[in-house]
Amino acid sequence: MLNKDSKIYVAGHRGLVGSAIWRNLQQRGYANVVGRTHGELDLTDQLAVRRFFDEERPEAVVLAAAFVGGIMANQLYRADFIMQNMKMQCNVISEAYAHGVQKLLFLGSTCIYPREAPQPMKEDCLLTSPLEYSNEPYAMAKIAGLKMCEAYNLQYGTNYIAVMPTNLYGPNDNFHLENSHVMPAMMRKVLLAHLLHEADWAAIRTDLDKRPVEGIDGSATNETIESVLSKYGIYDNKVVLWGTGMPLREFLWSEDMADASVHVLLNVDFGDIIGVEKYSSVHYGARADCLVSRDQSEGRGGALPQLGAIRNCHINVGTGREVSIRRLSELVAQAVGFTGTIEFDATKPDGTPRKLTDVEKLHRLGWKHRVEIEEGVGLLYAWYRHSVEC
């Protein structure tokens, strides 16, 4: 059981979700939270991860670090998406076990589900048909991560929980046009097209100084800036977005995701998910040296063969509500004050047609979202403008 003094390591604490989880824990009074930037700790380096666990000895781990991006990045860097994520997951999960971590929360993504999964997607539809090709490597890595958590629980009686959030957005989102997700990319494109129309070059240069595009910052000429922005579908009072605009997506405010994550970390055990009271409670928090000496059959203390196959123990995290990409673009335009043209390039990929989560399991476990998309788009735009001006 974690208490207010428990040391909690948040991997990826500078990212969209990790930073929100960090704030949520501190707001709840958990002051002993530790993190490392990528420059301080490369999670793909097994020896470095081992040294970190040797030194810090965290009692709980939140694995929110990941190599992520949108459709374009997923298409271009397929090897990186599977290899970088697999390395991070394997290193952190294995060292957590070796150092007797009491509780681990693994963050995945709903892209784990098949392209043609029945909607809304229940946890049980995992691995029932082919994945969406455009993000298959990332999805495979996340499936491996949740299966690692499941397998460690069943073999060693650990308490590792995997949560699968839907599309996230919020403070500290990635707005770099080359590799950002759909909403922040769309929002920045619409804003820059609006600023071009207003001929507000001071604001455009400030934006590019904060987040250069292909190395082009605010010191470049107007012509150079217009040229690089046009590569991303950004013109004077016009934006061109990828796909048809017809796919439906579900979006969750990152601070809601953080609250759900901390709720699960503090209140949900593996036994709650599989419906077994006091599941392997004798093994929770046991040190690695005790586990190593344990008889292998006892080490499985969590397997409980009388229950049959135990799988799909992850938890969907979302709103259970969806919006089309076209409708999202209208909400973004409204927030920005953009009155120009938004076009869709149907020659570019749409990705998965629909991706709505079934959140019944999460609701049963005692959590429900608060921020709806109409409010959230405005909140994200306000945060972005503030981040540029600071």
Q: Which residues are annotated as catalytic?
A: 138
341: enclosing H helix or E strand = strand 341-345
Residue type, 230: S
Determine phi and psi for 285, rounding to 5 degrees.
80, 0
Show the beta-strand stretches assigned E in 196-328. Answer: 234-235, 238-242, 248-249, 251-253, 315-317, 323-324
CB 283 within 8 A of CB 19: no
Does residue 307 sit in helix, strand or coil? helix
Two structure tokens written together for 250: 């579900």
Does residue 10 sit in helix, strand or coil? strand
Distance (Å, whole) CA 361 – CA 315: 7
Distance (Å, whole) CA 270 – CA 314: 9
240: enclosing H helix or E strand = strand 238-242
